[in-house]
Structure 1
Amino acid sequence: MGLVDDKRAEGGDYDLCVVGAGAAGLALAFAANLQGLSVLVVERGGKTGAPDSGKAHFIAGNAHDPLSHIARSGIGGTLDIWGRRCVPFDPEDFERNAEPDWPISYDEYARWVGPAAAWLRVPDAFVPGAPAGWTELNGVRADTSEALSPATLTADLRRQCREDSSAPHLLISAEAVALNWQGTSVVGVMLRHDGAIRHIRARHVVLTGGGLPSAQLLLAEAARHPGRLSGAAQLGRGYMGHLTGSIATLSFHDPIRARDFAYAIDATGTPWRRRLLTGAPEPRAAFWLESPDASDPDHRSGELSLKALLHGTPAGQMARHLANIASDPGGALATVAARWRQGAGAPNRLVPGLARYRVAYHAEHLRELRNRVRLAHLPGALDLPPLEITFGFGHATVSGVVAAHRKLAEALAASGMGALHLSGSDDQLLQKVTATARDGYHQIGLARMATDPERGVVDANCRVFGTDNLYVASSAVFPRSSQANPTLSIVAFALRLAKHLAVARATPESRREVA
């Protein structure tokens, strides 16, 4: 049916109420609907995306970006500002046997990577094999990749929600402010819609509206009903994200090898590229290559100089850019051809044959107990207070990023493939990493998955400890951040949960593991 009004939603009797219409919420809702469950999705935003209107207080020195930068409300949620990168977790993420750890195996997780990739419209071949000559890099993998989901995904999902008569019910502009309880079971969700409170009945409730909104509602429920959530002491603690930036460049002994790390287009039309990946010691880090800043004429590329001129370059650099174009007319023509061939959402081209390339990193954030989310004050009966957020990157994480670069440098030197160029001492590199260490987009670990409530907030099936039918499906349940961008895995766990709920509906054992 798609969009419904508040009276229709309030009069319904649903198997499942999904709070949030982002990637997790829509994947879960459509999958559960296909498996025969009656589903209502409630979304506090509207038909299209808008900056998140939530409020938060940030502790001084915080490395967390404002909510208006990192989140979107509306159908599709933060897919509006998503970088479209699909990257799975690796077996190493599940095999470290250190606290906190995953309560499920990698094989169980991997079962859902293919369905998640299909939902995000990318192939699931994330290990394409290392290019020739890159197989032995002394602990650095060159055989993993990322794929880009289509730029049209969000618009297509919105259209499906509005127009597909078989879609789950969807109520927009409805903010979940509290839960209705009967013993240890949630029997409904209280929504604020057009200034009125509506009561939604459902046999299962899943919070999917991102890590921070899910933690906010759970913290409010824990404050209103002390002792109801068994893992409440762990809720909001150990908040993680990722470190991103660039502190190095790479030169190849044979410039043609840069092609091994450029975006390619597979048979389905999906762009993908290889990543260099470091393992132990922690934190794990992924690296990829980018063309240097087009505005700096020192790159000596006609292609990049033409790009700089097309985007407007300072008059003082004009002569040097024109000289680059004159000495590299083929590169300039490549820019024109690429702009003509590429459609919306095409990835940035890695310019071939350059002396050096920018090395970007995406690194794991090690869990720190000082990073946490709390309510700024006690909630009222129908009030969600602002969040108080403490978030930063400790020395172990930042120094680990520098160590990962040193490891990559040693591996490249030993292989004879090229050289990683790091400017400065370790202390100077630490300062560079720290200067750009900000996040808030990925919202990991706020309601982490664990074997028991002494270690986490939800169990292996994402059910909140101490409850019969309340679940969380977002990156909040990940006990580790890994090096991987989280969206693919968020969708994987949402699809896994849809299967679990369908099994629970068909059996009297509501906590049965997914078969």
Structure 2
Amino acid sequence: MTLDTNFDLCVIGSGPAGMIMTMEYMEKHPESRVLMVEFGFTGQPKQNSLDDSIDIKVPGNHHEPYNCTNKGLGGTSLTWGGRCVMYDEIDFLKRPSINNNCTWDLDFFEEVKPFVPKATKFFECGDPVFDLKKIPKFEDTHIAEDFTEGIVTDSRIERWSMPTRFGKRYGETLEQLPNLKILLGYEARDFGNLDENGKVSSLKIRSVENKGYDEVKAKNFVIAAGGQESTRLLLRNTHLFDRLKRVPQALGKFYQCHLFGKIASIIFNGDPKKTDFGFLRNADGTYIRRRMQFKTSYLKKNDLLNTAFWLDNPFYYDPKHKNGSMSFMYLTMLIPFLAKKLAPPAITHTITKGKKIGIQKHLLNLAKDFPGSFITPARIFYKRYLIARKLPGIFLFSPTNKYALYFQSEQLPIAENRMELSPENDRLVINYGFTDKDVDSIIKTHKALDKHLRDTGCGKLEYWHKEEDLGKVIKQISKDGVHQIGTTRIAESPEDGVVDRNLRVHGTDNVYVCSSSVFPTSGQANPTFFLGACAVRLANHI
């Protein structure tokens, strides 16, 4: 293959960040010549050299590589659920709870906000509003009867994307761009040397199939290969930092994901029919859902990590729920070929938890709830898989007004959680775990929510485990690796981070990173949507 063209921009990776970055840039500069390099390709084998060369040191806390990323046009959006969540003000503040280890600021948050409306258009998740108080239809509503705001709010929402498969949704759009060339089946390997102005002019790429090398020339490079591979590429190309005193110490460090799971039920006192247990729909048909969160002032005052809560179903695998529909869904997910078609591995794991128990009792639930145990899943299947605006998830009404309470919590950024190359530089080694402070904050936020519900007469929490066992249980049930945050973090100087506030790699003039790995804090939010807004901002900056 010969690439004689000197491209204006080379984008490495074709996930949501890479696609949004490319489409926005070419909309502003249709005459520019852009190259997109993607490792995956049509007809690729199940195994690949990148995932095969990742070592997870504590697999109990971190999903295996093949469950964390996808290769090919659209990247990890192939198994993305579509949840779009905004970061919060607290995530940009220096605070003792994260050892003041916050290297971005509120000014950066404000700089990204103007690009949120364009991001919602790419994600097709509705209006750029993430607070129900600003939506007339829902401004005076609450999650349950008698809910009263105080230290906790129930108006923050998640939006749900329609094009959860970016390759399928935008592939044709990209192909029709006359000045865009897409190279599938190529791995970005080695950047050329910096010139006296800190510019890189070339990148060596390697064919995934025949291992042959080619060279790409471009005026600007954007690394949008996901948290793991963006970090690996910089670790392999430390000569990009030759103009600095040393390679940034933060490179590969401060790896964060989220802690999440269920340790309690929430029981409301009011009318069960007035509880918003599932999805709300905007006038345009988009799905939204409430999240309960603590206010910034309370988190700061009490030194707590940012945590979100929402209502959920009981564990599917436990037949004690006595719900025929849930038993049907659980049994379906135990059938490997069906589970693979219906949900990504990480989602399947949240349903089965790797357990195969109580089969006879599940079958009894099916029989007792017949025909509802089959009719309800059939209706859900239609809404979830057979229409354009798909039902994002499954939440079942509780006539007793009792729901499992799902939590998703920020993780403390610590240097010990890191990605690094093996001594031979051929493998990416991931060290990842949870700290006692991560766990302690989750327990404290549950207690604070329980107290607020009781004090206002709205309800209460009911724990599933003894108090002395909660910490151990949280560490056992929390498992991530999908939300890859922190390893190329933003900071004003290379002493504190890897990229500057414009996502440019410190020490270079034309190499950028567009990945959630640039986020210094994880917050409570799933990172994909905010990364999309950052991608729009970066395209306009370049």
TM-score range, shorter chain: 0.7 to 0.9
Out of 190, 198, 209, the position equivalent to 1:178 is 190
Deviation at 1:120, TM superposition (A): 0.8
Aligned match of 1:210 = 226
Aligned match of 1:33 = 26
Larger deviation: 333-342 or 241-250? 333-342
Calculate the aligned-residue CA RMSD, in Å.
2.8
Structure 2, unaligned runs of 5 or more: 134-138, 335-357
Write out aligned runs for 1:321-400 (5 A): 321-325=366-370, 337-340=379-382, 343-344=385-386, 345-355=390-400, 356-379=402-425, 385-400=426-441
Aligned match of 1:71 = 69
Give the AA of the match of 2:160: L
Larger deviation: 147-156 or 203-212? 147-156
Out of 264, 284, 289, the position equivalent to 1:248 is 264
1:105 is aligned to 2:69: no
Write out aligned runs for 1:42-191 (5 A): 42-47=37-42, 53-54=49-50, 55-60=53-58, 63-96=61-94, 98-103=100-105, 104-123=107-126, 124-129=128-133, 131-132=141-142, 136-150=148-162, 153-157=165-169, 159-160=171-172, 163-166=175-178, 168-181=180-193, 182-183=195-196, 184-191=198-205
Indicate if the aligned counterparts of 2:81 and 2:164 stay in contact, CA closer than 8 A.
Answer: no
Determine helix, strand or coil for the equivalent of 1:457.
coil
Task: Tell me the TM-score normalized by structure 2.
Answer: 0.82
Aligned match of 2:312 = 290
Identical counterparts, % of pairs: 29
**Partners of 1:261 and 1:96 in 2: how far apart?**
34
Figure out how many residues of one structure are paired with residues of the other and give that number.
486
**Partners of 1:424 and 1:297 in 2: how far apart?**
18
Deviations 1:393-448 (A, max 9, x none): 11111111111111111121122222211133443111111002221111111010
**Partners of 2:231 and 2:475 in 1: how far apart?**
27
Determine helix, strand or coil for the equivalent of 1:476.
helix
Larger deviation: 300-309 or 58-67? 300-309
Structure 1, unaligned runs of 5 or more: 1-5, 380-384, 502-515
**Partners of 2:462 and 2:512 in 1: how far apart?**
47
**Partners of 1:310 and 1:470 in 2: how far apart?**
47
Q: Residues 469 and 276 from structure 1, CA distance in 2 versus in 1: closer, same or farther, beyond 3 angstroms?
A: same
Task: Tell me the TM-score normalized by structure 1.
Answer: 0.86
Deviation at 1:357, TM superposition (A): 1.2
Deviation at 1:149, TM superposition (A): 1.1
**Partners of 1:96 and 1:72 in 2: how far apart?**
34
Indicate if the aligned counterparts of 1:252 and 1:258 stay in contact, CA closer than 8 A.
Answer: no
Deviation at 1:257, TM superposition (A): 5.6
Indicate if the aligned counterparts of 2:13 and 2:38 stay in contact, CA closer than 8 A.
Answer: yes
Aligned match of 1:476 = 517
Give the AA of the match of 1:495: V
Aligned match of 1:435 = 476
Indicate if the aligned counterparts of 2:231 and 2:487 stay in contact, CA closer than 8 A.
Answer: yes
Aligned match of 1:12 = 5
Deviation at 1:378, TM superposition (A): 4.9
**Partners of 1:158 and 1:51 in 2: how far apart?**
25
Determine helix, strand or coil for the equivalent of 2:200.
strand
Deviation at 1:497, TM superposition (A): 0.5
**Partners of 2:329 and 2:427 in 1: how far apart?**
44
Give the AA of the match of 1:377: P
Determine helix, strand or coil for the equivalent of 1:169.
strand
**Partners of 1:360 and 1:136 in 2: how far apart?**
20
